[in-house]
């Protein structure tokens, strides 16, 4: 079977039989397909889509391209659960969510990704911690899960290797926003992790891959249908990404904000609400909570008691990070050498945020990748980012800028001038939780 023939079939809009999809995935895994061929295939899928049957075949083939974890032999005294977000700007929910669930009695082997397109990556945030291993051996993963109840890592060489290669190709070939490719990428990793329950956070808005609500609904439905078809109980929430989630974006800066949430310190209300709801949904799926209200109570107790923070600390240490990281993050997270502010040019209400542009700004500052080989500056980003609906006076700070040099500071100030819209009258704010898709449970 020739790679170019498989590409041609999909280019011409034909439905691929499972044998051709298997050939594509095998070529990704073992090098039989070049990067150019894989990129062409990704673009053909992006332009022509895939049927439900094709999506299931692609997901299963990518899942089976490496090891599939089975937790039965570990005799874990709780359900194996996880959450995944389709990506946003400032989305650090995974950082507190995993240890919260662990403190409630679940086990969370979270296989996460790096930044993709304009969105930040969970692994990039953990790479800001000295010593933390985002690519441990399977033995270390199992040990961490047993000790801490959660492990936030990347794809090891053994888990869904086909997706790891395709993920990097999509990031630099403008093929990120494809429902079939997003579905297969996410679920191949989650199914390979041996989960018993999953919640999907599907972002919508100007900072999301699914910019329209219609696309977000289609993606949520695709994820739920394919996951449930593979035997994984799954729910999805469509959530708002028309502004930065929380008040920070940038890897080390988001780590600080996540730690504040775990410590019970004041944080952005939208970030806290979304974290609590997704945790409660998973506790219901896993049978730990009898209903949603009971799930929220378990979440709040885990935060109030410090148990979730303790689980986070255990996880960081088990994966090679400092034992006292949570207590002394300033000692370990590097700070940007240049600081400055972007201020409101006149009084008004924040009525709009060009969220995608802020994500792209982070890349320009060095906090994301233009190419897969780029090194990330974990120090740079924004804090104190104003949200929609906030009333500001002239000269009031709309964002604190953390840059590597004076040129980066000037770039950020110029870009942010185009990213915030102020109105003369109050504006109605949108809820962070838009709607649920619970067809899978």
Residue carrying structure tokens 């500056």: 377
Tell me if residue 268 is catalytic.
no
Tell me if residue 55 is catalytic.
no
Q: Of 29, 122, 275, 383, which is the active-site residue?
A: 122
Tell me if residue 203 is catalytic.
no
Q: Residue 151 — φ and ψ, nearest 5°?
A: -150, 115
> Cα separations (Å) of 346 from 254, 269, 397?
28, 26, 11
Angle at 274 between CA 205 and CA 250, to 5 degrees: 70
Q: Of 185, 188, 222, 383, which is the active-site residue?
A: 185
Q: Of 60, 83, 92, 114, which is the active-site residue?
A: 83
* DSSP string of 216-282, one letter each residue: HHHHHHHHHHHHHHTT--EEEEEEE-SS-SSSEESHHHHHHHHHHHHTT----HHHHHHHHHHHHHH
Q: What CA–CA distance (Å, rounded) separates 154 from 148?
A: 17
Q: Of 142, 170, 270, 379, which is the active-site residue?
A: 170
Tell me if residue 85 is catalytic.
yes
Q: Of 114, 189, 298, 402, which is the active-site residue?
A: 189
Q: Tell me which residue of 78, 68, 110, 107 sits closest to 93, measured CA to CA.
A: 110
What are the residues facing 322 on neighbouring strands? Answer: none
Tell me if residue 402 is catalytic.
no
Tell me if residue 57 is catalytic.
no
Q: Of 85, 134, 175, 275, which is the active-site residue?
A: 85
Q: Of 23, 57, 82, 188, which is the active-site residue?
A: 82
What's 147-169 look like in SS3?
HHCEEEECCCCCCCHHHHHHHHH
Contact 196, 286 (CB under 8 A): yes
Task: Write out the catalytic residue numbers.
Answer: 82-85, 122, 170, 185, 189-190
């Amino acid at each position: 079977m020739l790679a170019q023939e498989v590409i041609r079939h999909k280019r011409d809009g034909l439905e691929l039989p499972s044998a051709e999809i298997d050939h594509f995935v095998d070529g990704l895994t073992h090098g039989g397909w070049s990067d150019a061929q894989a990129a062409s295939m990704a673009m053909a899928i992006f332009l022509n889509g895939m049927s439900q049957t094709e999506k299931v075949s692609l997901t299963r083939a990518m899942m089976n391209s490496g090891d599939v974890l089975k937790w039965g032999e570990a005799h874990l005294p709780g359900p194996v659960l996880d959450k995944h977000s389709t990506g946003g700007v400032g989305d650090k929910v995974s950082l507190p969510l995993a240890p919260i669930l662990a403190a409630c009695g679940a086990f969370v082997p979270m296989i996460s990704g790096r930044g993709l397109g304009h969105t930040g990556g969970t692994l990039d945030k953990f790479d800001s911690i000295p010593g933390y291993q985002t690519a441990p051996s399977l033995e270390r993963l199992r040990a961490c899960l047993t000790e801490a109840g959660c492990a936030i890592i990347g794809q090891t060489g053994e888990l869904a290797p086909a997706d790891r290669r395709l993920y990097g190709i999509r990031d630099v070939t403008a093929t990120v926003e494809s429902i079939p490719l997003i579905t297969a990428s996410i679920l191949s990793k989650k199914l390979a992790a041996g989960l018993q329950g999953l919640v999907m956070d599907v972002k919508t808005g100007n900072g999301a891959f699914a910019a329209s609500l219609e696309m977000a609904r289609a993606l949520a439905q695709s994820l739920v249908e394919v996951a449930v078809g593979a035997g994984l109980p799954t729910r999805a929430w469509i959530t708002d990404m028309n502004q930065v989630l929380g008040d920070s974006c940038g890897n080390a800066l988001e780590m600080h904000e996540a730690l504040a949430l775990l410590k019970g310190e004041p944080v952005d209300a939208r970030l806290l609400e979304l974290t609590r709801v997704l945790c409660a949904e998973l506790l219901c799926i896993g049978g730990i909570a009898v209903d949603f209200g009971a799930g929220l109570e378990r979440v709040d107790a885990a935060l109030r008691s410090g148990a979730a923070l303790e689980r986070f600390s255990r996880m960081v240490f088990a994966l090679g990070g400092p034992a006292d990281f949570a207590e002394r993050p300033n000692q370990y997270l590097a700070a940007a050498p240049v600081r400055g502010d972007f201020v409101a040019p006149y009084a008004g209400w924040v009525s709009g945020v060009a969220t995608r542009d802020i994500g792209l700004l982070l890349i320009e500052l060095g906090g994301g990748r233009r190419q897969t080989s780029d090194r990330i500056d974990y120090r740079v980003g924004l804090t104190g980012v104003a949200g929609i609906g906030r009333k500001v006076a002239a000269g009031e700070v709309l964002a604190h800028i953390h840059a590597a040099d004076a040129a980066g500071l000037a770039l950020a100030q110029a870009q942010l001038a185009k990213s915030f819209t102020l109105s003369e009258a109050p504006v109605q704010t949108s809820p962070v939780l838009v709607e649920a898709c619970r067809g899978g449970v």
